[in-house]
Structure 1
Amino acid sequence: MLTDRQGNALPGATADTLALYNQAIDAFNIYRGDPVTPLDQAIEAAPAFTMARIARAYLCALATEPAAAVAAKADLAVVKDSRLDDREASHVAALALLLAGEWSAAGVALDRHNLRYPHDLLALQAGHLIDFYRANARNLRDRLARVLPRWSPDMPGHSIALGLYAFGLEETGDYARAEETGRQALDRQPLDCWAHHAVAHVMEMQGRAQDGIGWMTAREPYWSGDDNLFKVHNWWHRALCHLDLGQTQEVLALYDGPIRQERSAVALDMIDASTLLWRLTLTGQDVGERWQELAAAWDQHADGRLYPFNDWHAVMAYLGAGRDDRVEELLATLRETDDNSETAAWARGIGLPLVEGFTAFWRGDHATAAERLHPVRFIANAFGGSHAQRDIIDWTLTEAALRGGNRDLAEGLANERLALKPHSLINRDFLRRATTSIQEQQRHIA
C-alpha cells in the first residue's frame, strides 16, 4: 500500500494521486501554494482515496468561514459512508466534533490520535491549529512536546513539527527556546511561514520592534510571495512593530499596500485588517473610508454562529463604517444563541461582552466599555487567537479607562503593559496620560 512521506498508509491512493496529495500537504505545511486544487484533482481521479477527502475537509473546517464549513460537512458525509481504517476513522471522529462546534473535544480527540500516530503530520498541524483557534497555549506547545521525541531529524516534515513547537513555546512565554527552535526550523526549511511568524511573535511579545522590522525585512523574500497564504499576517506583524515605534504613516502605507490592496476575503486576513484599523484609530489616526471596504468584505463571513472570534472583528469594521444595523444584528444573534455547543458558549460568555464593550467604546460610553472589557480580558484566551491578537482588548480597555476618567485603572493598566514592554512608545504614552491627569487632580485638590 502507498504511504505518505512519514509512512502513514493511504488506502485508495494511486501513484499519481499520491503525488497530488503530497503536493497539497507540502503547501499546507508551509502555507505556500494552493493545497486545495491538488486534493480536488486527487479525489476526482481516485474517489476511494479517503485521506485526500479528509485533508480537504480539514482545510475547509479550519478556515472558520461559513461557506467553507458547508463544504467540509459535505466531505465528512461522504467519508462517513466509506470503509475506513483505524487512522481514517480517528480523523473522521475529530472532524465531526470540530464541525459540530466542539473545538476542545476535537482537540482532545486529536491528542489521542497524535499519540497513536505520532508521525501523522496532517493530524499534528490540524490539532495545532485547533489549539490556536481555541487559544490553548499549553497544548500548542505540548501537543508537539509529546511526540517530537518519536521523530528523527532526518524524517520528512521534522522541521515543520519544530516550527509548530516554536509557536507553542512562544505562546507559553518560553521566548528564548521559541526563538531558538523557530530559527532551527527555518535553517532546515526557510519557506516555513509558521516558524517565521513564531519568531516574529517572540519579538512582538518582548517589545523588540526594531528587531522585528529587521527580521521581517531580511527574510521578506521567503514569506511575501504572491502564492504565500500567510503573507498578510506577516505584513501585519511588521505593521505592529512600526506602530509600537509610533510610525503610523508606515502602518497606513502597509495597510493600503500589501495588507489590503488585494481586498482579500480570507477571514484571517480580514481579522488582521480590522485590528490594525482599530489600533490606528485608537492612536488618533483618521483612517477614512477604509472601514467601508472592509465591512463589506465581512458580510459573507460574520454570522454570529460559526466562530465568534471572527464576529467580534467584523463588528470593529461595522462600527468604523457606521453600519449600526449589522452591529445590532450580530449582538442579537450572540445574545439569542441557545444551542449547547462549545462555540455557542464562547459566543455567550466571551464574544458577547467583547462586542458589547467595543460597541460601547466606539459610541463614547467609556464606563460601560471598561465594565464589559475588564472581566472578559481574563477569559478571552479561551476562544481564539494569539496573545498578540488579543492585546487589542487590553489596549481598548486602557483607552476606555483614560477617556472615561478612571485614572486608577488607567495607571494600573499602563504599568502592567510597561512591565512587559518597557520601550513601547504607546505604553509610555498611556502612563504619561494617566499620571498627568492624576497629578493635575492632586494640584486642584491642594
Structure 2
Amino acid sequence: MAEVDSRGLPISTNSPEAARLYREGVDLLIAAWPGAIETLQQAVSADPNFALAHAALARAYAIRVRPADAKASIANASELAARNGTERERSHVATLAFAVTGQAAKALPAALAHVDRWPRDVVIFSLPLGAFGLFAFSGMADHDQARVDLCEKHAHHFDADDWWFLTYRGWSHAENGSVRLGRDLAQRAFDLKPANANGAHALSHAMFEGGAGAEAEQLVARWLPTYDRSGILHGHIAWHQALSALERGDPAGALAVYETHVQPSVSQGTPINILTDTVSLLWRLQLYGHQVPDSLWQTARNYAETKFAKPGFAFIDAHLGLLSAATGDKLAASERVAALSSLVEEGTMAAGPVVPAICRAALAFADGNYSDCVRILEPMAGEVARIGGSGAQREVIEDTLLVALMRSGEVMKAGALLDERLHRRPSPRDILWKSQIAA
C-alpha cells in the first residue's frame, strides 16, 4: 500500500516508519509546536532517500533561522526529488527551495501555482499565509484580502474538521475585517487541537480585533503554560497578553509579562518576533505616557545590533526606526532613512516609501515635533499595511499618528480617527482618549 501524508497525498517512501514520522513532523511544523526538527530528522534517518522529509526539515530549519542547515537539507531534497520524485514532489521541493533561500519574489508565484494544482499540500499552502507569510511580506497593500481569497478559493478541498485549514481561514478573515466569522473558525480550530500554537495565536488575534482584549488575556494565561518555552511563538503569544493588559491601563502587568516572556534575554522565539515585539511594546508604553527604563531600550538596541545590521526588510526596518528614535540615536536613524530611500529609488524595496517615512515620523515624534510627525505619517496611513505583519502589530504606527494628532492640536482629525477605530475595534484605550478629547 502506498504511503500518504497527513492530508492523503501520496509520498515517495517505502518506509512506513519514515512516513509516520513525516506526518507527525509536518503536523508539529504547521502547529508551530516543539519537536518538529527532531521528528523530521528521525524521518530522514528512517529513509535517507525521502525527498519530502528533507524538504520539510529545510523549512523547519529556516523557520528557526538556521540557514546553513536549511540550505543543506533543501539541496538534498532537490537532488532526491529530481532523481525519483513525482511531479508534485518536484514542484513542492522547488517551491520550498525558493522560500528557504530567501527568494520570496519567486516563492510566492510558485506557491500559488502549486496550490492551484495540489491544494491539500499544506506545507506549501502555509507559505503565503500568516502575519509573516509570503503575502504579508510581498509589499502588497491588500495582502489581508489576498489571504482570504486564497483560503476561500480552496476551502472545498478541506474537511470541515481540518484544524490547520480552520486556523488560517479564521485568522485570515479576522485580519480582513470579518471578525465574528474569523473568531468562530479560529475557535473551532482551537477546540479541535489545543496543542497548536498557530491556533492559539489566531484565536487571540480574533479576540483582539473584536475588542475582547480581556478574553484574549485569559486565553493566553490559561493556554501558555501548556506550551513549552522553546516553542517559537511562546514569547509572541505572551506579547498579546501584555498588549491587552496595556490597553486596559495596566502598565505594570504588561511589563511583568514582558520581563517574564518577551524580552530578548528570556524569549526563545525567532529574532524578528523578539525584536519587533520588544520595540513595539516599549514604544507603546512610552507613547501612552508610562515610564520605560533606559536599560530596557538599551537591551533592545544591543539585540538589534547583533541581529539586523543590513536594511531592506520593511517590517524590521520600521521597528528599527522606532528604536533609533526612542534611544535618541539620530545618526543611526538618518543613516537608515538614507539607505531605505536609496532602496526605494532603486525599486528594490517592495513596500515602497512608507518605510523611510515611518522612520522619519518616529524621529520627529521623539523630538516632540508632532506636527512634522503628522505631516509625514498622515499621507502614508493607507500604505502601512505594506510593511507586513498583523493588524495588532501595525497598530503601533496608527497609535503614533493618533497621539501626534492630539499633541499637535489636531483635535477634529484625532476624533475622526478615534471614531473609525472604535467602530472597527472598541478598546479601553480609545474610549479613554475619546473622553479626553471630548472634555
- Distance in structure 2 (CA, Å) of the matches to 1:152 and 1:432: 47
Deviations 1:211-250 (A, max 9, x none): 222333343444x432432121221111222122111111
The structural deviation recorded for 1:284 is 1.4
Q: Does 1:280 align with 2:280?
A: no
Q: Which residue of 1 aligns with 2:387?
A: 383
Q: Which residue of 1 aligns with 2:239?
A: 236
Q: Which residue of 2 aligns with 1:356?
A: 360
- Distance in structure 2 (CA, Å) of the matches to 1:357 and 1:47: 53
Counterpart of 1:186 (choices 155, 166, 190) is: 190
* Residues 103 and 369 of structure 1: CA distance in aligned 2, closer, same or farther (over 3 Å): farther
Q: Does 1:296 align with 2:305?
A: no
Query: Conserved in 2, the CA contact under 8 Å of 1:236 and 1:272?
Result: yes
Q: Which residue of 2 aligns with 1:317?
A: 323
Q: Considering only aligned residues, what root-mean-square deviation do their CA atoms show, in Å?
A: 2.9
Deviations 1:296-315 (A, max 9, x none): 11223324445220122233
The structural deviation recorded for 1:202 is 2.1
* Residues 366 and 123 of structure 1: CA distance in aligned 2, closer, same or farther (over 3 Å): same
Q: Which residue of 2 aligns with 1:131?
A: 135
Could you say what secondary structure the match of 1:300 adopts?
helix
- Percent identity between the two aligned chains: 24
Q: Does 1:205 align with 2:209?
A: yes
* Residues 336 and 249 of structure 1: CA distance in aligned 2, closer, same or farther (over 3 Å): same
Could you say what secondary structure the match of 2:218 adopts?
helix
Which aligned pairs between 1:17-36 and structure 2 lie closer than 5 A? Answer: 17-36=18-37
Q: Which residue of 1 aligns with 2:376?
A: 372
- Distance in structure 2 (CA, Å) of the matches to 1:374 and 1:394: 9
Q: Which residue of 2 aligns with 1:152?
A: 159
The structural deviation recorded for 1:421 is 3.6
Counterpart of 1:173 (choices 177, 189, 208) is: 177
Q: How many correspondences in the alignment? A: 426
Could you say what secondary structure the match of 2:290 adopts?
coil
Q: Report the AA paired with residue 235 of structure 1.
A: A
- Distance in structure 2 (CA, Å) of the matches to 1:309 and 1:59: 22
Query: Conserved in 2, the CA contact under 8 Å of 1:131 and 1:140?
Result: yes
Which aligned pairs between 1:420-435 and structure 2 lie closer than 5 A? Answer: 420-422=424-426, 424-435=427-438
TM-score normalized with structure 1 length: 0.85
The structural deviation recorded for 1:389 is 1.1
Deviations 1:319-374 (A, max 9, x none): 333444433342232122279676x232x422211122112212222222212211
Q: Report the AA paired with residue 251 of structure 2.
A: T
Q: For structure 1, which segment, 101-110 or 311-320, has the greater mean C-alpha deviation from structure 2 after superposition?
A: 101-110
Q: Which residue of 2 aligns with 1:219?
A: 223
- Distance in structure 2 (CA, Å) of the matches to 1:370 and 1:300: 32
Query: Conserved in 1, the CA contact under 8 Å of 2:55 and 2:93?
Result: yes
Gaps of 5+ in 2: none
Q: Which residue of 2 aligns with 1:442?
A: none
Gaps of 5+ in 1: 437-446
Q: Report the AA paired with residue 150 of structure 2.
A: R
* Residues 77 and 181 of structure 1: CA distance in aligned 2, closer, same or farther (over 3 Å): same
Q: Report the AA paired with residue 139 of structure 1.
A: A
Q: Report the AA paired with residue 296 of structure 2.
A: R
Q: Which residue of 1 aligns with 2:338?
A: 332
* Residues 96 and 417 of structure 1: CA distance in aligned 2, closer, same or farther (over 3 Å): same
Q: Report the AA paired with residue 395 of structure 1.
A: D
The structural deviation recorded for 1:62 is 5.3
Q: Report the AA paired with residue 326 of structure 1.
A: A
The structural deviation recorded for 1:153 is 4.3
